[in-house]
């Protein structure tokens, strides 16, 4: 065990050393190029270059992960396809494949991951002048807060028409401001990277009004034309929805989400345990790992997959979205709730920020006030089982009218067209 720990520590130090060796020359060259571009007023020359080359309505999407993620599908790929149908030309660039990313991160080679990610992103940024605008989703350098936003400044010097698309309060999620280590100070880590990012970018696609207000607070000179609220949309109204008729006596509660959010569901287990003594139930968990809490009632764990998520969701009778009323979770945009409701599944969610906007309590879903227990609300929902079909239909209507791609296509198109001008 001691030898394994020593090897793990050696591997981390070695990979960070490799990253530092890669970062140093790229950082210095990029800072120099950024200064030269600003002195030469490159933004004017690049506009003339695009005119000369007849580059019109070309949009570059810089996606932080690999293609097989829900964020890529619902916040990038579908909008890229929509822009293509409206006469734009879109290109999506990813940093690396899922296989390569998992091999490096799961293997503990975090520094090598940083280095490979940085190199790929640097070359992708060089193509920015050949597009009318660039959409960066979440972060330009995922997990990498080193170099004090030097690559963001480089991208904006190459092409000032950059949009930041974010559907999470990344600052709160990272616990900013973060305490810097010696390595962090050496590599110019920014302890408030996301807040600094909001002060740097000129335009924003925010996943909720709460996040739009966050951007406006950090950058006070934004005009109404500089921001747009686009929730994470679905097009589930084109699919067959949940049917409650003919189901057996057992209620299936369900939850879908990432591994990092599973603790919220695990905290709810005692309340589900208490309910199970009076109401026959099972729990279906759709995530990247098994639920870490034992239960006396049946619990089924299914691995999340883009190909199977819809079929898995339709096996749920009541979709759960427990949240805490914290800065981190106030920034959530209610996507799992939108997924449940879009398929006609009865949703029960904590009444935190965006969830209050999505749900009309008792009509198209149910809300649980922060700090209140879930036992009684869940019993109330279970008693309304004969109404699930009607509540689910109202939920589908709500999502179609306010959280579908069709509902936001015009607004998204106008905003991107404005950035391309």
Nearest to 286 by CA among 343, 213, 336, 230: 336
Which residues, 6+ apart, have CB-to-CB distance to 192 below 8 Å? 171, 176, 177, 178
How high is the mean pLDDT of the chain?
94
Half-sphere exposure for 227 (CA within 13 Å, toward CB): 24
Amino acid 144: pLDDT? 86
Asked, colleague to colleague, whether 2-233+406-420 and 236-403 share their fold, the answer is yes
Residue with tokens 């962090």: 184
Amino acid 187: pLDDT? 86
pLDDT per residue over 349-397, tens digit each? 999 999 999 999 999 999 999 988 899 999 999 999 999 999 999 999 9
pLDDT per residue over 161-212, tens digit each? 999 999 999 999 889 998 988 888 888 999 999 999 999 999 999 999 999 9
* Ramachandran angles phi, psi of 241, nearest 5°: -95, -175
- For 54-87, give one letter per residue: b (16+ CB within 10 A) or e: ebebbbbbbbbbbeebbbbebbbbbbbebbeeee
> Confidence band (pLDDT; 50, 70, 90) for 68?
confident
Average pLDDT over residues 120-136: 97
Average pLDDT over residues 126-133: 97
Question: Residue 168, Cβ neighbours under 10 Å: how many?
Answer: 19
Amino acid 195: pLDDT? 93
For residue 370 the two structure tokens come to 């922060």
pLDDT per residue over 243-261, tens digit each? 997 666 899 999 999 999 9
Average pLDDT over residues 12-39: 93
Query: Is the model's pLDDT at 340 over the cut of 90?
Result: yes
Residue with tokens 């109330």: 380
Query: Is the model's pLDDT at 1 over the cut of 70?
Result: no
120 exposure class (CB count in 10 Å sphere: 0-12, 13-18, 19+): middle
Delimit the domains of the chain by residue range. 2-233+406-420, 236-403
Nearest to 22 by CA among 119, 152, 139: 119
- Top CATH class, 236-403: alpha beta
Q: Are the beta carbons of 194 and 174 closer than 8 angstroms?
A: yes
Nearest to 349 by CA among 380, 310, 316, 319: 319
Amino acid 2: pLDDT? 67
Q: Are the beta carbons of 118 and 139 closer than 8 angstroms?
A: no
Amino acid 248: pLDDT? 65
Record: fold of 2-233+406-420: Rossmann fold (3.40.50)
DSSP state, residue 365:
B
Query: Is the model's pLDDT at 4 over the cut of 70?
Result: no
Question: Residue 328, Cβ neighbours under 10 Å: how many?
Answer: 16
Q: Are the beta carbons of 286 and 258 closer than 8 angstroms?
A: no
For residue 65 the two structure tokens come to 């992960």
Amino acid 161: pLDDT? 97
Amino acid 246: pLDDT? 61
Q: Are the beta carbons of 253 and 317 closer than 8 angstroms?
A: yes
Distance set, CA 310 to CA 240, 302, 392 (Å): 10, 12, 16
Confidence (pTM):
0.94
Percentage above 90 pLDDT, the chain: 85
> Confidence band (pLDDT; 50, 70, 90) for 92?
very high
Query: Is the model's pLDDT at 9 over the cut of 90?
Result: no
> Confidence band (pLDDT; 50, 70, 90) for 13?
confident
Sign of the four-CA dihedral 410, 62, 34, 142? positive
Amino acid 400: pLDDT? 97
Amino acid 7: pLDDT? 67
Which residues, 6+ apart, have CB-to-CB distance to 137 below 8 Å? 61, 62, 63, 64, 71, 75, 76, 165, 166
């Amino acid at each position: 065990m001691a030898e394994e720990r020593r090897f793990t520590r050696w591997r981390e130090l070695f990979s960070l050393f490799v990253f530092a060796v890669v970062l140093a020359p790229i950082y210095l060259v990029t800072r120099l190029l950024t200064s030269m571009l600003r002195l030469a007023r490159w933004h004017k020359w690049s506009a003339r270059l695009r005119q000369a080359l007849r580059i019109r309505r070309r949009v570059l999407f810089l996606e932080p992960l690999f293609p097989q993620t829900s964020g890529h599908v619902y916040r990038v790929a579908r909008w890229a396809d929509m822009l293509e149908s409206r006469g734009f030309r879109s290109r999506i660039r990813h940093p690396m494949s899922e296989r390569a990313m998992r091999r490096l991160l799961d293997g503990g080679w975090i520094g090598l991951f940083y280095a490979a990610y940085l190199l790929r992103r640097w070359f992708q940024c060089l193509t920015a002048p050949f597009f009318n605008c660039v959409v960066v989703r979440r972060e330009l350098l995922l997990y990498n807060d080193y170099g004090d936003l030097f690559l963001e400044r480089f991208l904006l010097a190459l092409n000032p028409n950059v949009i930041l698309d974010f559907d999470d309060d990344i600052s709160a999620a990272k616990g900013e401001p973060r305490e810097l280590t010696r390595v962090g100070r050496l590599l110019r880590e920014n302890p408030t990277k996301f807040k600094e990012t909001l002060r740097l970018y000129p335009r924003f696609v925010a996943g909720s009004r709460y996040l739009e207000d966050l951007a406006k607070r950090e950058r006070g000179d934004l005009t109404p034309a500089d921001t747009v609220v686009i929730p994470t949309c679905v097009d589930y109204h084109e699919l067959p929805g949940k049917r409650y008729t003919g189901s057996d006596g057992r209620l299936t509660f369900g939850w879908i989400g990432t591994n990092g959010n599973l603790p919220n569901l695990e905290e709810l287990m005692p309340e589900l345990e208490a309910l199970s003594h009076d109401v026959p139930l099972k729990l279906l968990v759709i995530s990247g790992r098994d639920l870490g809490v034992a239960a006396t009632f049946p619990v089924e764990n299914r691995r999340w997959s883009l190909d199977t998520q819809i079929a898995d969701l339709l096996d749920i009778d009541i979709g759960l979205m427990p949240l805490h009323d914290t800065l981190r979770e106030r920034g959530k945009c209610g996507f799992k709730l939108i997924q449940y409701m879009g398929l006609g599944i009865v949703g029960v969610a904590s009444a935190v920020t965006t969830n209050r906007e999505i749900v009309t309590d008792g009509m198209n879903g149910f809300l649980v006030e922060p700090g209140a227990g879930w036992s009684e609300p869940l019993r109330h929902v279970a008693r309304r089982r004969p109404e699930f079909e009607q509540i689910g239909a109202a939920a589908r209507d709500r999502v179609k009218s306010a959280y579908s791609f069709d509902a936001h296509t015009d607004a998204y198109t106008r905003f991107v067209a404005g950035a391309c001008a």
